[in-house]
Amino acid sequence: MDTHLMLGNEAVARGAWEAGVQVAAAYPGTPSTEIVTNLARYDGVYAEWSTNEKVAYEVAFGAAVGGVRALTAMKSAGASVAADPLISSVYTGVCGGLVVIVAGDPGMSSGMTEQDDRYFGRISGMPMLEPSDSQECHDFTRLAFALSETYDVPVMVRLSIQTAHQKSIVRVGERVAAPRKDPGRHTDKYCLLPRFSRPLHASLLARIADLREYAEASPLTRVEPGAGAAGAAGAGELPLAGGGRARIGVVTSGAAYISAREALPGATFLKLGMVHPLPIEAIKRFAATVERLFVVEELEPYLEEQILAAGVVVEGKRWFSPLGELTPVRVGRGFYAAGLDLPRWAEAKAAEDDSVIPRPPVLCTGCPHRGMATAMKKLDLDVHGDIGCYDLTSLPPVSHVHSAVEMGASIPMEQGFTRAGGSKKGSLAVIGDSTFLHSGLTGLLNAVHQRTNVTVLIQDNSITAMTGGQTNPGNERTLAGAETKPVDLAAICGALGVEHIDIVDPYDYEACLKALKAGLAYDGPAVIITNRPCVLFPRKLGADGVYEVDEELCNACQQCLKLGCPSLHHTDTVFKKRHKVAIDASTCAGCSLCAQLCKPGAITKVGDA
């Protein structure tokens, strides 16, 4: 048997490839990035990093309308960016199968919110499958293409970060060719003018009704008998804390299914593979076979409210919090609180020793964002940030960011903040190259058009860094490896009407300070662009030499530690009650910023002293 240990995301890619997918488009976003990264490695698939999720969705949608099987993948916030085509494409339907992967982040490991993406199914009508492990990621993705073509509708496969980023064993299959279908020309199907979209809405309701019938009878809706043989007396009966036993039933899906199975292996489960539309008759039948019915679901009471609306008594959010990831221990503690006799979960156990110094992620040694961050902190500016690694400067020791909300927010928010009166010491928008190209351009155009005196810092590190180094239009190559023309950010800003454009080396601290002051002083929209690539991607900072501290000269002022560089640390030597500083030569990238901040001149390049 051909089995592999695969990430949920890798298994999605494999399933899509086996289903004959030919076009895949996405913007990188944790926890969905690895899907298209992996699809790009398969033969017979055109894969791209698009400029944003809406564009990616439309590329994939266009390919499906063009008659081939296509896929797009995004994180929760990306689904919000792509919501317009996502909702419209459900009306029109497709020609080749279209599969939309949305990966949510309960617990917010890296997302800005923990929105419950299952509601996209209800808003749009799009059918939604929810796998629980890598095998299901593979199988459900394959199935989603078939459903998409059968029911003439895009199909969403909704992942939770737990499902996307766990590895489990997958039995893989072979690729089945899906030759291009004749797209024809269908004005009444693809032009959403009112005269066409009204009948399309009616058709959508009919398609949803058919899909509900499918879900009712599908193997996706599966009863798993509890402890003891199926149907035997006492099957699924679990001991209660106060004595006695009860037949416990659990309705669940996705990642919550795994946590519930781990927490309460003896219960009888109704596992839902399709969560929109919901197989409500199957749920009613299941409810009739148990004494106490629970629904275990992450985030909102999405299933619970629909089950209650169908007149079925069910217990859910009363025991299982809507906050964060629903881990086995949290589900177990919920069942324990609900009165089940569960020694494994009876007491809360410590996961770790909280007294040990926390170690949050930091900007890498040699990160080109550090110079500007330190300079902005020095000038005490109000910073409206965006989504990228530079968000890490909102944490100590830099901690100077005022806002960092969503992709492209920085420039319009800075514009509004300026209209509100701005701040005494100055404020500016900070955005990375990839985010600027994703959704910063229109904000800058607006600020220029409205004649608002904004200052914008584009931290151009020439890569989409935070998600692991994906290409963007600033690069010389595409994901597929084709040579392409890198976009000129300064030229774009000039074309938008910006008159003050300053290009700065972020490893030159004084130059950073000077550029910020000049940009803020300029009467009119001003843009500052940094020009050093990410220290990790696509190539490491040149081994130009590392730096060292002369312990004799170090006066323990610790100015350098304000950089938050992981290569700088305390030594045991104390001077005037403060620790002196040392540099870890094995990790120093040689950016020289600490040497620039060192007043006594204790930090020098190794070999220069």
Partner 1 sequence: MSAKKTKPAVAAKAGARGAKKVGADPAAAAKPGVDPVAAHYANGVVDDIMVVGVGGQGVIVAAAIIADTALLHGGLEVKLSETRGMSQRGGSVSSHIRIGVTVVAPSISPGEVDYLLAFESAEGLRLAPSVVADGAAIVNTQQIVPPLAASSEHAYPYDAINRLMECSRKKRDGGRGTHAGGACLTILNGNALALQVGDLKVAGVVLVGALSTHLPFAVETWEQAIARNVPPSWLEMNLAAFAAGRRIGGIEGSDET
Catalog residues that contact partner 1 under the rule CB under 8 A.
Answer: 3, 5, 30-31, 105, 109-110, 133, 161-162, 165-169, 238-239, 258-259, 261-262, 265-266, 327-329, 332, 341-344, 348-353, 355-365, 389, 392, 396-397, 466, 468, 536, 558, 561, 563-566, 568-570, 586
DSSP string for 465-532: TTTT-B--TTSSB-TT--B-PPP-HHHHHHHHT--EEEEE-TT-HHHHHHHHHHHHHSSS-EEEEE--
Kindly state the DSSP code that residue 393 receives in the 8-state scheme.
G
Nearest approach, Cβ of 137 to partner 1 (angstroms)?
12
Nearest approach, Cβ of 162 to partner 1 (angstroms)?
7
Nearest approach, Cβ of 351 to partner 1 (angstroms)?
4
Nearest approach, Cβ of 297 to partner 1 (angstroms)?
16
What torsion do the CA atoms of 260, 264, 269, 274 make, to the nearest 10 degrees?
10
Please, what sign has the CA dihedral across residues 562, 568, 570, 571?
A: negative
In the bound state with partner 1, the residue whose beta carbon lies nearer, of 338 and 520, is: 338
Nearest approach, Cβ of 507 to partner 1 (angstroms)?
18
Nearest approach, Cβ of 577 to partner 1 (angstroms)?
14
What phi, psi does 400 have (nearest 5°)? -125, 0
Nearest approach, Cβ of 329 to partner 1 (angstroms)?
5
Nearest approach, Cβ of 161 to partner 1 (angstroms)?
6
Closest among 154, 145, 86 to 120, alpha carbons compared: 86
Nearest approach, Cβ of 442 to partner 1 (angstroms)?
27
Q: Three-class SS string for 323-344?
A: CCCCCHHHHHHHHHHCCECCHH
In the bound state with partner 1, the residue whose beta carbon lies nearer, of 126 and 583, is: 583
Do 260 and 342 touch, CB atoms closer than 8 A? Answer: no
In the bound state with partner 1, the residue whose beta carbon lies nearer, of 91 and 269, is: 269
Work out the angle between the directed axes of helices 489-496 and 441-449 (0-180°, nearest 10).
30
In the bound state with partner 1, the residue whose beta carbon lies nearer, of 200 and 561, is: 561
In the bound state with partner 1, the residue whose beta carbon lies nearer, of 105 and 386, is: 105
Nearest approach, Cβ of 607 to partner 1 (angstroms)?
21
Do 160 and 133 touch, CB atoms closer than 8 A? Answer: no
Do 229 and 285 touch, CB atoms closer than 8 A? Answer: no
Closest among 159, 157, 137 to 148, alpha carbons compared: 157
Tokens 């219960």 found at: 267
Distances (CA, A) of 493 to 27, 51, 55, 83, 448: 22, 17, 21, 28, 10
Residues 6+ apart with CB under 8 A from 148: 64, 94, 97, 98, 99, 154, 155
Closest among 441, 550, 548 to 489, alpha carbons compared: 441
In the bound state with partner 1, the residue whose beta carbon lies nearer, of 195 and 359, is: 359
In the bound state with partner 1, the residue whose beta carbon lies nearer, of 57 and 269, is: 269
Do 478 and 25 touch, CB atoms closer than 8 A? Answer: no
Which element (helix H / strand E) includes 253? strand 245-253
Q: By three-state DSSP, how is residue 464 classified?
A: strand
In the bound state with partner 1, the residue whose beta carbon lies nearer, of 267 and 447, is: 267
Residues 6+ apart with CB under 8 A from 449: 497
In the bound state with partner 1, the residue whose beta carbon lies nearer, of 343 and 607, is: 343
In the bound state with partner 1, the residue whose beta carbon lies nearer, of 250 and 258, is: 258
Nearest approach, Cβ of 569 to partner 1 (angstroms)?
4
In the bound state with partner 1, the residue whose beta carbon lies nearer, of 211 and 342, is: 342
Closest among 355, 407, 351, 526 to 112, alpha carbons compared: 407
In the bound state with partner 1, the residue whose beta carbon lies nearer, of 109 and 442, is: 109
Distances (CA, A) of 539 to 63, 379, 465: 34, 31, 12
Residues 6+ apart with CB under 8 A from 26: 32, 33, 35, 36, 48, 49, 50, 53, 56, 72, 73, 74, 78
Nearest approach, Cβ of 143 to partner 1 (angstroms)?
22
Nearest approach, Cβ of 167 to partner 1 (angstroms)?
4
Amino acid occupying residue 549: V
In the bound state with partner 1, the residue whose beta carbon lies nearer, of 238 and 274, is: 238
